[in-house]
Amino acid sequence: MSKFEDGSYGSLTGVSLIGKVLAGRCSMKYTRAAAGSGQIPEGMTPKTMTGPAGYVMDAMIAAVTNPVDGECQVTVQIKSDNVETGFYLTNIVLFAEDPDEGEVPFTYLSLENEPEWIRPASS
């Protein structure tokens, strides 16, 4: 059982980046998403993770939309085409471009309590 509720957590570097975007220093640019099958290590939180726990593969950013004012929705897609061994997806990290730091983790999506099965290509 996870110590954290399933859901999306803004990372510390992501919160800092939002401040830079709001100050007009840069625009928001999502760079990639990565999927993991591990658990958050002791002493870490979703906000302090720098990548997915138990990295398995990169995921595709399929869409970035604005469903309502004040909200951004990022759709991430995982395809089984290149998955040799199925795994339980327990987390996804969305990365973004920071003008000072380069690529930083923006959001950590935890699914440890109800992981999603990603089937192998062969099934």
Look up residue 33 and give its two tokens: 């998403």
Residue 113 has pLDDT above 60, yes or no: yes
pLDDT computed for residue 123 by the predictor: 82
Degrees to nearest 5, angle at CA 33 with 5 and 2: 20
Asked if residue 122 belongs to a domain, the reply is: no
- Condensed to tens digits (0 to 9), the pLDDT of residues 14-35 reads 999 999 999 999 999 999 999 9
- Condensed to tens digits (0 to 9), the pLDDT of residues 72-103 reads 999 999 999 989 999 999 999 999 999 999 99
- Rounded average pLDDT over 47-53: 97
Asked if residue 123 belongs to a domain, the reply is: no
> How many structural domains are present in the chain?
1
Confidence of residue 61 (pLDDT cuts 50, 70, 90): very high
pLDDT computed for residue 26 by the predictor: 96
Asked if residue 2 belongs to a domain, the reply is: no
Rounded Cα–Cα distance for residues 59 and 42 (Å): 25
Asked if residue 29 belongs to a domain, the reply is: yes
Residue 31 lies in domain = 7-114
